[in-house]
Amino acid sequence: MSAKESTQNYSDLMKSFEKSLDGLSVNYKTAEQKSKNISENLQQVRRIDVVIQLFARIIITIFFGCLLLQQNTTLFRLVTESVRNGSLVQLQPIFSVLTAATIAETYLIARIIVEWVFKDINYT
């Protein structure tokens, strides 16, 4: 078999292979462009996610900070009002439960803020 016949056979084989794929071949430039578009969209979604996480962290911190401030201020007002009225001794069981619950809630919210709000964001 000559080199010319071998080249012709190879060419015929490739043509028959392309026909057997029947449209399954992928244009490299089109595939590359689609891949770039997908990568750009993914990067944009990641940026939006990071911004949302940062704003959510700020909002959650402010909300829980205000909640804890209001709760502790109200509890302090209740205790000082009961001292003025002379009813602290009678309300001691209630205040002990309220104070313990407030301290526990403050601890748990502070823990959530520290663990979630200040955790690292994956920027990649």
pLDDT tens digits, one per residue of 10-56:
777 766 665 655 556 666 677 677 778 888 888 888 889 888 888 88
Handedness of CA 67, 68, 70, 71 (dihedral sign): positive
pLDDT tens digits, one per residue of 55-89:
888 888 898 889 889 988 998 898 899 889 988 88
Question: 23 phi and psi, to 5 degrees?
Answer: 90, 5
> Distance between CA 84 and CA 108 in Å, rounded?
31
- Chain centroid to Cα 21, Å, comes to 43
pLDDT value for 58: 87
| pTM score over 0.85 | no
pLDDT value for 64: 85
* 3-state DSSP assignment of residue 2: coil
Q: At what angle do helices 92-112 and 28-85 cross, to 10 degrees?
A: 160
pLDDT value for 1: 62
pLDDT value for 95: 85
pLDDT value for 32: 74
Place of tokens 């909640």: 67
Say if CB 34 and CB 83 are below 8 A apart.
Answer: no
Residue with the larger pLDDT of the pair 96 and 120 = 96
